[in-house]
Structure formats: structure tokens, C-alpha cells
Amino acid sequence: MVTTTDFYAEYAPAAPPGELPRAPLRLSCVVPAYNEQANLAGFVQALAQAVQALTPDFEILVVNDGSRDGTHEVAMQLVQQLPVRYLALSRNYGKEAALSAGIDHARGNVVLLIDADFQHPLELLVPMRDLWLQGYDMVYGVIVDRAGESGTKRLGTSLFYRLMNSGNSVKLPPNAGDFRWLDRKVADALKALPERHRFMKGLYAWVGFKTVALPFVPHDRMAGQSGFSLRNLGSLALLGLTSFTTLPLRVWSVIGAGVALLALAYGAWILLDTLLFGVDLEGWPTLAAGMMLFAGVQLMSIGILGEYIGRIYDEVKQRPGYLIARDEGRSPLRDDAAPPR
């Protein structure tokens, strides 16, 4: 029996209705790759082997996210050897866009999202498949051990989830990543969402469906290095916050009201002090400090407004989230996807 922890238990509909009559599995594996020349060939071969044990009908979509190393050459060789469809994006758009490109082109009745660096254990494919057969539409890996990460990253992560989940109707399960098994229903729902700048973790939660978590301990990255710097993660977190919560906008009204009330009380006190006790008007240091404090607070609130306005501007331009420069190889699967919008 597989152990699962269900973050959604308190938010989501009841347990699944037992074994479902699922159609035979036809699996699309989406593998985003950015500078993975050392990992890609070995990984795709290992993945193909693991998947063959589940079903003969599968495709592997390798999405090259504008790599600067030999990833392209490696992928072109894989196309000759395995049922690999290779999509090369026209530049580095980031992992979220690479995943979207994969989901958009996947044909199977299940889409598996998995990293190219061996961090997502292939042994989990069998339990994922079993949970899908039991009726879950989305199975996602949850990292149970972040010991390998720096203190700053862990602190930032916990702060981020705290903010994201405060007063928001869409709850993000902490430590859930992009290692996911998506039923065709879920993939089509994700495809139909119109936004261009995609914060995938938020979107998975937003679409809902019957979802279950599968805890796992990630392996170490096999070769190469993480494509995410602390700065990348920061801007990803900002994208997540601005697309999924308006809390940062709302706090300013509360702060503003609080400050106004305080100012009123302080003004009344000064007035009384002067009228009743005839104290001279003093206190320019209070004035100077107060002015500087509130100038700072105002600039901060304008900055946060600006983040949201920038997001709106990005979306109204309606530029596609990614462009495909090359589309190589053929998929052996017939197309199950809903037609594009």
C-alpha cells in the first residue's frame, strides 16, 4: 500500500469513488531541460525503461528551454532512438513556460511532468499510476526532506507559503513541486487557462480535481547545477503572489486607516496640551521622523501597487508565453487533447 498525505483533505471533495474504469494508459512524459547535456541522454533512457514497464504507448516530450550547452545535440540523437518528440523553445523562457509548452503538445490520456536531473525518483511512477487507477486525477510529489537546501532558501520558502495561503481560497500545498501525474482532464483544464505568465504551482491548485500527495525524498542532482538562483526564486515567488493573492494590496488600507486614527488622536492630544497647559509647540524631531517614516511607507505601497500593475501590463500585451523554434521527432500516440482554444 502506498502512503500518501492529503493536504487537500480539508479543502477538497470526498475521497475518490474506488477503482475507476480508466482507459488504457497512454502516457506523455514532459521533460523540461535547461543546460542538461550531462543528464538528458541517461535520464530519458532510464525514463523510457521505467515507462515501458507501465505501458507500451508512450511519448517523451523533451522541451529544450533555450539551453546554452550541448542539450540540443543530445536531444537530436534521442529523437532517433526512442519515441521522443523534441521541442526547442526560441530562448530561455523559464521552467514554467517549458512545462506549459510540454502540456500544450502532449497527446496521451495522462501527462507526467518530471525533471531531467534525476531528482524525481522514477520508482514513484508505479504508485502514481496506482493512485490514478484508484480515481485520483492529479498525483503530486511532495518533498519531505529539504535538508539539502540552504537556510535562506528554506526560510524564504516557508514565508512564501505562509503569505500565499493566508486568506486565499486557493491553498497551495507546501513543498509540492512540479513532479506530477496529470489526468487528461487536468491537462486540458490547465491548457484552457488564458494567462501567459504562469505560476504553475498556483494553477495546479486552482484547477482542483481529485488530488493526492505522494511524499518523496528527492535525490541529489546527478550532474550540472540548479537553474534557479535565489534571485530567480524571488521573482517566481513574486509572480506567484501577484497572480494568486491580493492580500499585499489590501494590507495598505488597514495600515492607512490605523495611521490616520493614530494621527487624529495625536493631533487631539497636542491641541489639548497646548490649550489646557499652555505648553509651547515643540517637537520638530517628531515631525522629521514621522515624515520620513510615512514617506517610506508610501513608497513601499506604491511599489507593491506597481508590481500588480506591471503584471496587468504583461498580461494585456497578450504575447505568447513561449515560442517554439524547432519541433523534431514524431509521437507514436494519437492525439487525445482537447482542440486548442
- CA pair distance 333, 91, nearest whole angstrom: 27
Contact flags string 80-119 toward Mg ion, x per CB under 5 A: -------------------------------------x-x
Q: Rule CB under 6 A: choose which of 26, 28, 36, 337 binds ligand UDP.
A: 36
Asked if 103 interacts with ligand UDP (CB under 6 A), we say no
Return the number of other C-beta atoms located less than 10 Å from residue 117's C-beta.
Answer: 24
Q: Does 228 bind ligand UDP (CB under 6 A)?
A: yes
* Binds ligand UDP by CB under 6 A, chosen from 121, 127, 227, 290: 227
> If binding is defined by CB under 6 A, does position 104 make contact with ligand UDP?
no
d(CA 114, CA 40): 12
List the end-to-end C-alpha distance of the chain, in Å, as a whole number.
40
**Least distance to ligand UDP from the beta carbon of 76, Å?**
17
- For helices 284-316 and 230-244, the axis angle rounded to 10 degrees is 80
> Closest-CB residue for ligand UDP?
227
Residue 34 Cβ vs ligand UDP, minimum distance, rounded to whole Å: 3
Q: x/- string (CB under 6 A) for ligand UDP, residues 116-155?
A: xx-x------------------------------------
Backbone φ, ψ for residue 133 (5° rounding): -65, -30
Q: Which three cell numbers stand for residue 193?
A: 487557462
CA distances to 45, 76, 92, 208, 336 from 84, in Å = 10, 9, 21, 30, 17
Residues that bind ligand UDP (CB under 6 A): 32-34, 36, 65, 92, 94-95, 98, 115-117, 119, 221, 226-228
